[in-house]
Amino acid sequence: MIDTLIFDMGNVLAHYTVEPVLEAICDDPQKIQWVADHLFHSHLWHRLDEGTIDEDELYHAVASQTNDPSLYPLIKQGIEQWPKYNLRINSDMVPVVQYGLDHHMDLILLSNAPLRMHEVLDQYIPYIQRFKDLYISADLKMAKPDLKIFEYVLDHSDKKASQCLFIDDLKVNCDAASSLGLTSWCYHSGDGSAIIQWLNQHHK
């Protein structure tokens, strides 16, 4: 039976979009799109999530792809200020967190995110102080869907895969977790009540 909930952050516990941090200092749609594509949607951002490059290396790698100096402060803004602008709490999932607490389940965060995520955890995760464990990929130097990160979480949280419901918005991450025996829920907006209904049947 399930006694542990493992949550993703972006687009599960919090809504995540990349444009707001750029729109805060720029009103040119083409420039915003260029930075969104070359920064947030690039393999380089995933490397920041993995902790295999730092923010300075990321900045120079992205800036080297353009000769337009007006993009440089936009790139810098995106790297340094994204936690302030790009996340909004997902009210649909607050009752799921509350359900877990009410039923004495262990709650765990497993997020692919840069180190700056630590700056806003208490703003975007309800009852963060009552989570059993918080895992940010950049701290671990590995990221989902690498099986090693799931194995690490299970080992360090002293959990068996069969005890856990993993909730993520990306199928590739859910498939990876499922391959190790975790029950996975590929989250779509509005799924909160369905998750609670499922838990009523499967938590111990």
73: domain range? 18-85
Residues 196 and 115 grouped into a single domain: yes
**DSSP-assigned beta bridge partners for residue 133:** 108
pTM above 0.85, yes or no: yes
Residues 60 and 122 grouped into a single domain: no
Q: Which of 85, 102, 131 is the last residue of a domain?
A: 85
Residues 139 and 43 grouped into a single domain: no
Domain with 96 in it: what CATH number?
3.40.50.1000
Q: Which of 67, 85, 103 is the last residue of a domain?
A: 85
| pLDDT string in tens for the chain (204-residue length) | 999 999 999 999 999 999 999 999 999 999 999 999 999 999 999 999 999 999 999 999 999 999 999 999 999 999 999 999 999 999 999 999 999 999 999 999 999 999 999 988 888 777 888 999 999 999 999 999 999 999 999 999 999 999 999 999 999 999 999 999 999 999 999 999 999 999 999 986
What DSSP line would sit under 97-130, residue for residue?
HHHHHHTT-EEEEEE---GGGGGTHHHHSTTGGG
How far is Cα 180 from Cα 162, in angstroms, rounded to an integer?
A: 9
